[in-house]
Amino acid sequence: MVLQALFFYLFAGIAVASAFMVIASRNPVHSVLFLILCFFNAAGLFILIGAEYLAMLLVVVYVGAVMVLFLFVVMMLDVDFVEMRQGFLQYLPVGGLIGCILLAELLMVVTGWVIAPQIVGEGALPIAPAGDVQNIRAIGDVLYTRYIYFFQASGLVLLVAMIGAIVLTLRHKEGVKRQDISEQVARGPETSIEVVQVESGKGI
């Protein structure tokens, strides 16, 4: 029990510190790396509570795919973060309001034992059927029955985000030759062949 508590405080402390560094780092690449570290520690917390499938899913999906994709998008966009910070003060009132709301919610969670001591330590009843049920089956039963619409909505949100990233990075620069299939198919001899009259004794 002591060893489990030790690992919990280790994983939780590193996760909180890395999450703070995500928003404190000026370099977006460093923020992505700290976010990956935060996900690894969150996976460790999942393992401690016996949800090894969620831990594996967090590492494989988020660290292996989403964070790498996010890093590539940040590097491809080439955003001038110095220019973005110039208009920071105009968003300060809205950001301060949202920060105060989040702070109030966190204080209510932390001081919940003072406001309503009877609900401390009472969790929700397990939704999975009784008996020896594996984590994968229990999650699948809940995800694809009760929360199927939310699951599909999250997929649509990710699809829209992927299309937005592609549209933002698709920049047409002047002077760059691009392939036009319809123009190549529709061309004739007058556009594909050029007859040059070369004078005798002179090259082209």
Segment 91-149, tens digit of pLDDT: 678 778 877 887 887 777 667 666 666 655 554 445 545 556 677 788 888 888 888 99
- Residue 204 confidence class, pLDDT cut points 50, 70, 90: low
Q: Inform me whether the pLDDT recorded for 55 exceeds 80.
A: yes
Which sequence spans correspond to the domains of the chain?
Answer: 8-79, 88-116, 133-169
Q: Give, for 169, the enclosing helix (H) or strand (E).
A: helix 148-169
Q: Indicate the average pLDDT of the chain.
A: 76
Alpha carbon of 106 to those of 57, 91, 109, 114: distances in Å? Answer: 27, 22, 5, 14
Q: How much is the pLDDT for 123?
A: 47
**pTM exceeds 0.95:** no
| Alpha carbon distance 101, 97 (integer Å) | 6
Res 152: pLDDT: 92
CATH architecture for residues 8-79: Up-down Bundle (1.20)
